[in-house]
Each structure stands twice: as structure tokens, then as C-alpha cells.
Amino acid sequence: MKRETNARKAGKLLWGLFLVQGVSMACTPAQQSRAAQLYQQAYTTDIYDQQIGLLERSLQSCYSAVVAADKYLREGDDAYDKGSYEKAGRSYNQIMQEVDKITNPEDKQKYRLLYYERMEEVYESLGKSHLARTMEKKYLMAAGEKGSASIHKSYVASKDIYRQLSPSDEEKDRAFRGMGIVEKKINLSINFDYDSSRLSRSGTKQAEALGEASRKILRENPDGKIEITGYTDTDGSADYNLNLSERRAETIKRFLSENYGVNDSQLNYRGRGEQSPTCLDGNKGSESGRGEHHCQAGEDKEASRRVEVTFSL
């Protein structure tokens, strides 16, 4: 009976190893090497209990709570996209069980925020608005946001983007006569997944509104161009923030081109990182040249995490 139990356990462990190997890119080379070494030892030994022990150690050497959390995130996203909101919620709930095991503070924060964001969308889709608001508040608290302002209240409708960016007849005439370049700008709060250039669902909605407005404006003004400029707040290093802002701006450019047929020749993008923040965090002084003042109690840094859209003619 014991041998049968061990055989079943070995089978599960082997299957688990296959899963780990399937996502081995998430493991470090050292972890992969150690896992392979232990697995080979288990394969060559004839002593059953030693096989079990070696297989367990092989799995544990490459196990990562981050890998597991990412797996549940992808499963949840897939279910959500197919309209299986309850199934998506069950997958997302598994993320928080893995969050407790994650030791890296940045990864722990990343998946906690992703969980709150995803569950807010699930509850909204299920018509449970009160639970969605609870998740929204938890997201804002975990992200360090101050006050009660909701990220959704910053949404700008397509018609308002169009109105803000569209040149007047007088401006068009001035541009036609070569009397100067016409520039119209708007700042949009387009949200991305934490520490990522992937659009969040709320960010996708805002990008869609921008896409609709951009397509209409450029059809009416075929000589016009649109530039996407990404900004971040002052958290983290300046070099890292510059790279992140560039990647996010590029994401928006690609989104407009692929989903709204905007010609690449009419789109430019650039990142400016933490230049021109609305305020500085408490650890960075004004001598750095990154802003005018420190963020005060109740002052929201969210406005610094923005995308500036410029239409020029």
C-alpha cells in the first residue's frame, strides 16, 4: 500500500516538474541547473524513498511563488476575456495565496496591485459595484494613493479628446498659409499594470477613447501628426523611469496603429521619465531639478504618471 501511495506521489511530482520546466524561463540559470541535477539523481537511483525526496527537492529548487502568481494571473485573464468572470475571480484569488509567499517586496507589491485591479473589473462585470469599489479603495491604499479620488474619475471621453485636440478653422488657415505650427495638447491618465508597459483594463478604455478621437482628427487633417509623450512620478531611479516612460509611450503608439489604423508616419512617441512631475516624493530634493516641491499630505502623485498627447499641424 505504501508503494502505491509513493507511486501516485511520484506521478504528481513528475507532472509538477513538467509544469516547472514549461515555465523554466522564470527560474534563474542556477535554479534550473540545480533542479536538473536533482532530477537526474532521482532518475538513476533505485531506492524509492530517495527518489521521492530528490524529486521534491528538484521541484522546490525551481519553484517560485512569482511563477505561480503569474500563472494564475494569465489563467484569470484568459477566463475574463472569454466572459467567464466567476472563473476568472477564482484564478485571481489564488494570486493572493502566492503573494504571502513572495519574499521580494517589489514583486509582492506588483501582484497585490494586480489582484486588486483585476478583482475590481470582475466585480464590475458581475454587477457587484459595492465590492468593486472596495477593491478600488484597496488598490489606492496599497499603491500609496492619498485621498478619495478614483482613478476612474480621470477618464476623458473620446468626444472631449477630439474637442481638445482639434484645430479651429482659423488655426487650420494659419497653418495652411505657413504662418506657424499649430499644436494642441491634452494630458491623459492612461493606466498600466504596476511597473509594466502593459495596459491595464482601465488604461485600455482610455486608450480606446484616444484611438477613436485620433482617427477622426487625422482623417480630417491628413497632414497632421500626433506625438505621444510618457511621464512617470519620481519613485525609482531617473534612468529606470525614463526607460519605462518610453516603453509605455511606445505601447500607446502601437495600440493606435494596430487597432485604429493610424498611419505610423503620423505617429511619434518619446519618454520623458520623471521630468516635470507634479511634485517630488519625500526622498528626493528639489536640487535634483525634478520638480518644484515635495508631495504634501493628501497630494496625489498620480497626475505625474501621465501621457501627454500633442496634435500638430
Q: Where exactly are the structural domains of the chain?
A: 2-62, 65-142, 151-312
The three-state secondary structure class of 253 is helix
CATH number of 151-312: 3.30.1330.60
Task: Please tell me the predicted confidence (pLDDT) of residue 31.
Answer: 62
Task: Please tell me the predicted confidence (pLDDT) of residue 281.
Answer: 58
Task: Please tell me the predicted confidence (pLDDT) of residue 145.
Answer: 42
Task: Please tell me the predicted confidence (pLDDT) of residue 143.
Answer: 67
Tell me which residue of 204, 199, 290 sits closest to 247, measured CA to CA: 199
> In this predicted model, what pLDDT tens digit does every residue of 167-200 receive, in sequence order?
998 888 888 888 878 899 998 888 887 778 888 7
User: Does domain 65-142 bear CATH number 2.60.40?
Assistant: no
Task: Please tell me the predicted confidence (pLDDT) of residue 73.
Answer: 86
Distance CA 275, CA 140 (A): 23
Task: Please tell me the predicted confidence (pLDDT) of residue 254.
Answer: 94
Task: Please tell me the predicted confidence (pLDDT) of residue 16.
Answer: 53
The three grid cell numbers given for residue 244, joined into one nine-digit string: 519605462
The pairing of strands 267-271 and 307-312 is: unpaired
Task: Please tell me the predicted confidence (pLDDT) of residue 1.
Answer: 41
Task: Please tell me the predicted confidence (pLDDT) of residue 295.
Answer: 57
Task: Please tell me the predicted confidence (pLDDT) of residue 294.
Answer: 59
Q: Identify whether the C-beta of residue 138 lies closer than 8 Å to the C-beta of residue 116.
A: yes
Low-confidence ranges of the chain (pLDDT < 70): 1-32, 35, 43, 55-56, 58-63, 143-153, 278-303
Q: Which residues contact 304 (CB under 8 A, 6 or more apart)?
A: 231, 232, 233, 234, 274, 277, 278, 279
Task: Please tell me the predicted confidence (pLDDT) of residue 275.
Answer: 83
User: What angle (nearest 5°) sits at the alpha carbon of residue 303, between those of residues 297 and 307?
Assistant: 165
Q: Identify whether the C-beta of residue 242 lies closer than 8 Å to the C-beta of residue 272.
A: yes
Looking from the CA of 162 toward its CB, the CA atoms found within 13 Å total 16
> In this predicted model, what pLDDT tens digit does every residue of 239-286 receive, in sequence order?
999 999 999 999 999 999 999 899 999 999 999 988 877 666 555 544
